[in-house]
Amino acid sequence: MPAEWSRHRATWLSWPHNRETWPTQLERVREVWVRMIQLLSPQERVCLLVNDEPTRQDVIRRLTNARAALDNVTIFQIPTVDVWMRDYGPTFVIRDSQESALAFNDCIFNGWGGKYESYEEDEQIAKEIASLLRVPVFNHPVVLEGGSIEVNGLGTCLTTEQCLLNKNRNPHMSRREIEEFLKDSLGVDQVIWLGQGIVGDDTDGHIDDIARFVNPATIVCIVEENSKDTNYSLLQQNLERLQAARDQNDHKLSIVPLPCPGPVYYEGARLPASYANFYIANGVVLVPLFDDPCDVKALGILHELFPDRKVVGLPCTAVVAGLGAIHCVTQQEPAVPSGP
């Protein structure tokens, strides 16, 4: 599995439409999607799923008004329940040989441990994309969401015990069996296990809200500075694990702390707001912002870590009311390197 900063052919997205996810925020959320596509389309192809023809026409109108690079946007009429492409979409892999080839892993998507039965219908989306791309598919009888794994492209994977060892995912598999599956399916040699995810994360602790590779040897890890906050101790434990961890070559990793925004609430419930839920695309890094004083600090840290990319913040207070942000709704399709 290539690292996210490797060259992309495309980014896959689904157009937001579910009013159960965003009862009052849907129009603001759609504005964020338009801005994402506006930023991504000059850099790489954007493949967008919509539910019907009226939606397709509406999207074209919005993107035209935003002056997005429409010639680099492909819209497919494939109905979805919701937008969480990172979790129900394909996880792309590349076979290294004399002639590299693209394929992807299709794992079971069970609505984040059976929490949302209607969302399990989106498990078919990966198969729909396979028929469009005509690439080999590795079907695995294992529950795994894309947001629960993070790789450096050289053989190291990050994940969490709270998610992958949860009995609502693969109760028949041991820790060792899950680790072997990750090694075989992602082409990694080392799996680094963190503990728990942040408060409010209904995915049971996805890694893409707490720790991310920014290059093969550097990880950003969110930390809570307020010792009275519920997230404080669990994030300190994750930080300590990373500081002791080794990569695929038994080398220590550089760990860069990334702040947490202040608590974000909707209807009395705390939301999983995290600056770690950024997306690395060709030439640009899209970062969720939460109208918080720490927004500027987080952007500054990521700007220093991505000197070859434009780091752009997107207002995601409305988006995270749906319990996810930018990384949760994107899925990169790597560009296949040409042969020798």
300, 25 Cβ separation under 8 angstroms: no
Q: Determine phi and psi for 312, rounding to 5 degrees.
A: -125, 130
Residue type for 317, please? T
Which one of 157, 163, 316, 328 is the catalytic residue? 328
Sequential DSSP letters for 88-113: HS-EEEEE-SSS-EEEEEEEE--HHH
Looking only at the bridges linking them, the beta strands covering 254-259 and 218-223 are: parallel
CA distance 324 to 271: 9
* CA neighbor of 201 nearest in space, from 235, 242, 152, 167: 235
* CA neighbor of 84 nearest in space, from 285, 277, 300, 304: 277
42, 315 Cβ separation under 8 angstroms: no
| 3-class SS shares of the chain: helix, strand, coil, % to 5 | 35, 25, 40
Residue 328 a catalytic site member? yes
| Count of Cβ atoms closer than 10 Å to residue 336 Cβ | 17
Q: Determine phi and psi for 118, rounding to 5 degrees.
A: -65, -30
Rounded to whole angstroms, what are the CA distances from 5 to 48, 89, 93, 171?
20, 18, 14, 33
**Catalytic residue positions?**
328
